[in-house]
Structure 1
Amino acid sequence: MDVDCNASLQSAPVAGIAAASPFADRDTPPHIVVVEDDPALRALLSRILRECGYDVTGAADGIELQRAMIERPIDLILLDIMLSGPSGLELCQTIRERSRVPIIMVSARGEEGDRVAGLDNGADDYIAKPFGRAELLARVRAALRRASDTHVPLDIPVPDRFDFADWNYHARRRELISPRGAEVELTAAEHELLVTFLRNPQRTIGRERLLEMSRSRIGHPSDRSIDVMISRLRAKLGDGRRAQPIIRTIRGVGYMFAPDVTSS
């Protein structure tokens, strides 16, 4: 019988019966590396992904991950945050210095600060244990789909410079310049969030949609990391001293980038 890819992790079948592959348009299925130092959980995650058609390599730590990255191309990394040796956050930052491979952080630590730290270090998504099989597979599919979409040529070129409320943002150089001419340092996640706002000025955007647009990930109703990032971006834009803030909260709906934006 076919494997139910929507079952929970706890009810995963023990028989290694593979479902029909959903990757008929590829020569090979997507290759996923599962970095988890718990052997039992690593084996379970690997089996679930294989049963749903993915090619999976297990890695216990950063050394085995590095070996996997050298040996063959990787389409996605599931990266546990708590590892022996370098942590998942450290590995994520190192990977981002040389690769744009999608990374989903996996951890028992579901605190808001950990999610924000994962995004700031370059992760595309964050999933906290315990989680259901369906959620895991949905996030994997979304990360792979969005990574594939980045290779599709865009009809509209991305502007290099944005001007708003006496501020300037240079997209290619990733520089935010204040009205006084000083450069304001932003994290990678804050850069992506600001660009999302600049490309959608005076438009109300929901919290979950902002996460999708700025980090290429699935938003979740209980995920407050976007609020933390917006709070930090507001502070750097000086919104606390403004009667009319640059980033407005639209109660019960989401956020709006209020000023006029010109681009070139």
Structure 2
Amino acid sequence: MDNGKENLDEVTASQSILLVEDDVKLARLVTEFLTINGFSVKHIDNGQAAIDEILSNPPKLIVLDIMLPGVDGLTVCRTVREQYTGPILMLTALNDDIDEVAGLETGADGYLGKPIKPRVLLAHIRALLRRQDLLETEKGIEGAEHLIQAGPIMINAAKREVCVNDQHVELTAAEFNLLWLLAEHKGAIVPREELHQKIFRLEYDGLDRNIDIRISRLRKKLGDDPRSPSWIKTIRGQGYLLINE
């Protein structure tokens, strides 16, 4: 890995990252690279210790390998996701769509395959942190204009809360952000390219399935049948539409 410092748009230098990786050599190189680029990195090499650390001392972002001794990365992600609301970026050496889908369905916010390209890793981390900072800023916003009703779904931007038929629905930061983007344009089609760019701060390449997987997961949490959705509609070849009823 190249240990050169990148001159991309900066995030706060004190941002803390937990790196969960059992490959000691790779972990050392990633830690050195991210430290040079202004991050505070803590390395843990097994899943159970990672769970304990995340729940007791949550970092700003987690870089999590899927293949770990003992408790694997998918289990780590699933275990901490209800309490940990920060971004989780998963790594794997396996070139398999099933692993990507599984990672995202357990609550991961991004996915990168090995071998890791340091600049790509850094770009993903910075994009996720920019999005997280934006979400945290929005928590302080108050006012009725930040309430959006879409059918049985009530979305409160100030409190970052979602209710369906007056029942609270627990969403991750990434899921709420995606729903809010749809809600801001309810009744209108939001192109997949626009959702991808706003969520990941990266241009859509026409092949990435992250938005589609997140929409599917969001439907399940809202109780919208993924096989025949009534509230979040797929407009084939165009994007997604949140009902305006």
Task: Evaluate the alpha carbon distance shift between residue 45 and residue 95 of structure 1 in structure 2; reply closer, same or farther with a 3 A threshold.
Answer: same
CA distance in 1, matches of 2:132, 2:68: 26
The offset of 1:248, in angstroms, is: 4.2
CA contact (8 A) 1:81 1:89 kept: yes
Gaps of 5+ in 1: 1-8, 178-182
Q: 1:151-184 CA deviation, whole Å, 9 max, x = no partner? A: 223366542x6343xxx1244774545xxxxx9x
The offset of 1:200, in angstroms, is: 1.8
Could you say what secondary structure the match of 2:123 adopts? helix
- The match for 2:83 is 98
CA distance in 2, matches of 1:240, 1:120: 16
Aligned AA (2:129) = L
Aligned AA (1:44) = L
The offset of 1:198, in angstroms, is: 2.9
Task: Evaluate the alpha carbon distance shift between residue 190 and residue 134 of structure 1 in structure 2; reply closer, same or farther with a 3 A threshold.
Answer: closer
The offset of 1:34, in angstroms, is: 0.8
Aligned AA (2:37) = C
- The match for 1:247 is 233
Aligned AA (2:191) = G
Aligned with 2:94 (options 79, 85, 109)? 109
CA distance in 2, matches of 1:43, 1:102: 21
Task: Evaluate the alpha carbon distance shift between residue 241 and residue 36 of structure 1 in structure 2; reply closer, same or farther with a 3 A threshold.
Answer: closer
CA contact (8 A) 2:66 2:73 kept: yes
Aligned with 1:169 (options 153, 157, 162)? 153
- The match for 1:180 is none
Greater share of residues in helix: 2
Number of corresponding residues: 232
Task: Evaluate the alpha carbon distance shift between residue 93 and residue 19 of structure 1 in structure 2; reply closer, same or farther with a 3 A threshold.
Answer: same
Q: Show the 5 A alignment for 1:114-263.
A: 114-152=99-137, 153-154=140-141, 157-159=145-147, 162-164=149-151, 168-171=152-155, 174-176=162-164, 193-211=178-196, 213=198, 218=202, 220-221=204-205, 222-230=207-215, 233=219, 237=224, 247-249=233-235, 251=237, 254-257=238-241, 259-261=243-245
CA distance in 2, matches of 1:109, 1:158: 42
CA distance in 2, matches of 1:62, 1:140: 21
CA contact (8 A) 2:191 2:240 kept: no
CA RMSD of aligned residues (A): 4.0
Could you say what secondary structure the match of 2:119 adopts? helix
- Mean Cα displacement is larger for which, 28-37 or 217-226? 217-226
The offset of 1:119, in angstroms, is: 2.6
Tell me which structure has the larger Cα radius of gyration: 1
Q: TM-score, normalised by structure 1?
A: 0.68
Is structure 2 residue 39 aligned with structure 1 residue 57? no
The offset of 1:120, in angstroms, is: 2.6
CA distance in 2, matches of 1:101, 1:84: 24
The offset of 1:49, in angstroms, is: 0.7
CA distance in 2, matches of 1:111, 1:223: 14
Aligned AA (2:35) = R
- The match for 2:30 is 45
- Mean Cα displacement is larger for which, 67-76 or 112-121? 67-76
Q: TM-score, normalised by structure 2?
A: 0.72
Percent identity, aligned pairs only, is: 28
Aligned AA (1:106) = L
Aligned with 1:30 (options 15, 19, 27)? 15
CA distance in 1, matches of 2:54, 2:228: 47
The offset of 1:256, in angstroms, is: 3.6
CA contact (8 A) 1:116 1:229 kept: no
